[in-house]
A and B are shown apart, each in its own frame.
Chain A
Amino acid sequence: MGYFKRYTHLAPLAFLRFAFGALMFFALLRSLLNNWVFELYIEPQYHFHYYGFDWVQPLGEWTYLLWAVAMISAIGVCVGYLYRLSIITFTITFTYIELMDVAYYLNHYYFVTILAFALCWLPAAHYGSMDAWLGRAKSADEAPRWTVDLPRVLVSILYFFAGLAKMNSDWLIEAQPLKMWLPSRYDLPILGELVDEPWLPYAFAWFGMLYDTTIWIFLWWKRTRIFAYITVIIFHTLTAIFFPAIGVFPYVMIVITLVFFDAKWQLALGKVFPSAPRKWHEWRTWNPALAKFILPVFLAWQIFYPMRSQLYPGELFWTEQGFRFSWRVMLMEKSGAAEFKVVEGSTGRYVWVDPSEYLNETQEKQMAFQPDLLLQFAHYLGSLYEEAGMQNPEVYVRSAVSLNARPSQPIVDESIDLMQVKDGWGHKKWITAWNDEIHGW
């Protein structure tokens, strides 16, 4: 256990804190300027909830306050002022924002939550921070090596699982969905000339898989680090160019992976915010007794939770049981359509409901191919009709979902009254059997 007694310079961790805070501030600012707070959280009359988190709801106009608090605390994290308060506040507010509507789920938001949670425990503000400069926190140069390594491990896990997820027959053998995605970028300068090349999706698919599964190894290894980092920049820039819809994710990865370096330039922060005179050489984590218990559990979660899909029968891409929180990023092209039939049990009278009357385009699009969201919306419709005076409404869904260029088929059995179905951790038997197979992980 000598590893846990080793110490290393705090600069990479301090730099991560700085970059992470700045990035999060701009990411939140971007969503604010795009008017997403209003369009995604205030305007819609219904919000899809994460299982067990239906109590997390947008706060109406006060949602802006949530944004303000998250943004201010992100600045606090960035400059390292009132760090402990800032990072805990940020973690809570950002996680709350993330939990408000599962229809907007993004893997990199989940990564932000994970990294923020880890940063709550790490001594990231004892070097190159306002706190250390002003003497608010005891300043130090070094900390246990594992506190600097933990964020690196988190990034490695993300990459590894993302790569593993690409080891399937659709991605590698059929080069789907890249075969569909790449040609639509025909308008790109220079690269646009290539998008119709038949080999291009294969090159992207194999390179993407190899990159994700191995890049973290080359980042850990000092002798390859600089080349690996150049690869990181090129890879994520390409994904940003080809898939602008993934938003800030490429930039998050380009900046966060700098944590792998332990180079001189990272000491710059220590010059911007020089340490106060009464300086300690080394520092420890926050609340070591508790951290000793929490962080191993946290790390185990990172390793095992993404693998839970193995416990469910059926094709993962179809049922999406265990799909979220498992680093399956830009992996499949799935699109759906759904119409709901509300039947009055006693009379048999029915109406067909168009979900777009209740949902915005993103919610409707995401719901149409995710079984648990179809179920949630069916329950919502049932409750609306019940409030309007219908006795025991039955709700059925006629759905069509196409996955990776296959003919569409219903994803939920149209003959099942969804009001009788409960969501849960168990296998969802009400999802139709998929009439094809994808081999691999």
Chain B
Amino acid sequence: MARLKFTEMRIIKLSTLILPLLFISCGEDGPSTPGDNFNRKEVIENITDNLILPSYSDLNVELNEMQQALDTYVASATPSNKAALESAWLDAYLSWQDAALWNFGPAEDAGLLTAMNIYPTDTNQILANLQGSYDLNAISQFDAQGFPGLEYLLFSNAIDWTNPAVSTYFQDVLSRMKAKTETTISDWNTYRSDFVNAQGTDRGSAFGILFNHTFLPYLEVHNREAKFGIPGGQRTGTPAPEKVEGLYSRVNSKALALRAFEAYRRAWTGMSHVDHTAGASVLDYVTYMDQRNGTQLSGKLESELDDVQLAIEGLDNDFYSIAQTNPQQLNDVWAAYQVMVFTIKTEISSSLNVTISYVDSDGD
């Protein structure tokens, strides 16, 4: 009896000692060495200041150059001025591919995409618009404008530029593109600090926003599906050549897709939009977690990025004829994208613990 009592006392003493100790040891253990901490904020600042914001100002510059080319051509309808307008259109379209992936916050609020790049373009709607009045802000008009709509005006045989309605329509479309771009740029003035200070990895954090917009849905919907899967017929079993990006100029599909992919890649590697110098990147964060977890995810992602790039580079310029003659080539690129999407959705989102869904969860 006495011995039992003694043991009991000891356990009580021990437990009252140990329990608080355990907390001290995992709660506030002395002045820690901060040297090991990875600076996440720097990553977001680099993406914001060296990738996102410059890509919008470049787009703005290119749109203004297209405006000048339009003015010149309207004043003097020479073949060389037409060629200059076509070239300004292509430059601006390429610079859009650098800006398209930041489809959240100001761009999403402004509806920038709706003014820029909904394709295939609705040619019947455009022809109808040339005959009468239209409101480009109407949802039904979203696929009758933007770069694909302008492309139709520039490259289709059905369009007669001696009809003044054509240049007026071109101007209206371009004006909306410029206005939406300017709104997006000015909104970023205030949004920047919110974004950079949205720390953590929840849905509303900068990392969460990048994953839930740029890194996954943008890649899946606007690259994998729109540029490759849909024209290749991956989802329907029936190729759809008339749905390629760059349908009317015919030779630019690859240049546009490649440009979009390179911009996407820089979003991971943190390479500056302006001069392609390296900066603090999400890939660095992946590497940092690799060191903790004993994984090799950053290398894996880089090699999968290489694979997609090689697959795109291996295609001919004209996706329309590829979709007609050998759609499997487009579906092969789709498959390369898909390998990378799987890696991002599984290993990388686990490693960075970024929230993709938003309800309570305790099972995983």
Chain A contacts to B: CB under 8 angstroms: 36, 40, 104-108, 176-177, 179-181, 183-187, 190-191, 193-194, 196-198, 200, 203-204, 207, 210, 218, 223-224, 227-228, 230-231, 234, 238, 244-249, 323-324, 328-330, 332-337, 339, 349-354, 360-362, 365-366, 368-369, 400-402, 405, 407-408
B-side contacts of A181, CB under 8 Å: 353
- CA of A317 to CA of B141, assembled, Å: 51
Whether B32 and A197, one on each chain, are in contact in the complex, defined by CB atoms closer than 8 angstroms, is yes
Interchain CB contact (< 8 A) of B362 among A107, A353, A407: A107
The digit string for B262-279, where 1 denotes a CB below 8 A from any CB of A, is: 000000000000000000
Whether B346 and A329, one on each chain, are in contact in the complex, defined by CB atoms closer than 8 angstroms, is no
A-side contacts of B120, CB under 8 Å: none
Whether A337 and B341, one on each chain, are in contact in the complex, defined by CB atoms closer than 8 angstroms, is yes
CB of B356 closer than 8 Å to a CB of A: yes
Q: Chain B's nearest CB lies how many Å from the CB of A261?
A: 17
Q: Chain A's nearest CB lies how many Å from the CB of B360?
A: 3
CB of B350 closer than 8 Å to a CB of A: yes
Q: How many residues of B contact A (CB 8 A)?
A: 57
Q: Chain B's nearest CB lies how many Å from the CB of A236?
A: 13
Whether B363 and A107, one on each chain, are in contact in the complex, defined by CB atoms closer than 8 angstroms, is yes
A-side contacts of B220, CB under 8 Å: 354
Interchain CB contact (< 8 A) of A335 among B36, B202, B292, B346: B346
Q: Chain A's nearest CB lies how many Å from the CB of B200?
A: 4
The digit string for B17-36, where 1 denotes a CB below 8 A from any CB of A, is: 00100110111110010101
Whether A405 and B350, one on each chain, are in contact in the complex, defined by CB atoms closer than 8 angstroms, is yes
CB of B162 closer than 8 Å to a CB of A: no
Whether A405 and B351, one on each chain, are in contact in the complex, defined by CB atoms closer than 8 angstroms, is yes
* A/B pair count, beta carbons within 8 Å: 167
B-side contacts of A230, CB under 8 Å: 19
Whether A193 and B358, one on each chain, are in contact in the complex, defined by CB atoms closer than 8 angstroms, is no
Stretch of B75-83, B166-174, B229-237, B249-257 with 4 or more beta carbons under 8 angstroms from chain A: B229-237
CB of B349 closer than 8 Å to a CB of A: yes
Whether A176 and B341, one on each chain, are in contact in the complex, defined by CB atoms closer than 8 angstroms, is no
B-side contacts of A351, CB under 8 Å: 234-237
B-side contacts of A105, CB under 8 Å: 363
29 A–B contacts from the bound complex (CB under 8 Å): A40-B359, A106-B363, A179-B292, A179-B293, A180-B292, A183-B38, A183-B353, A184-B353, A186-B38, A186-B199, A196-B36, A197-B32, A207-B25, A207-B26, A224-B15, A244-B202, A245-B360, A246-B360, A333-B350, A335-B346, A335-B349, A350-B237, A351-B234, A353-B235, A361-B358, A400-B342, A402-B350, A405-B294, A407-B347
Q: Which residue of B lies closest to A363 (CB)?
A: B357
CB of B355 closer than 8 Å to a CB of A: yes
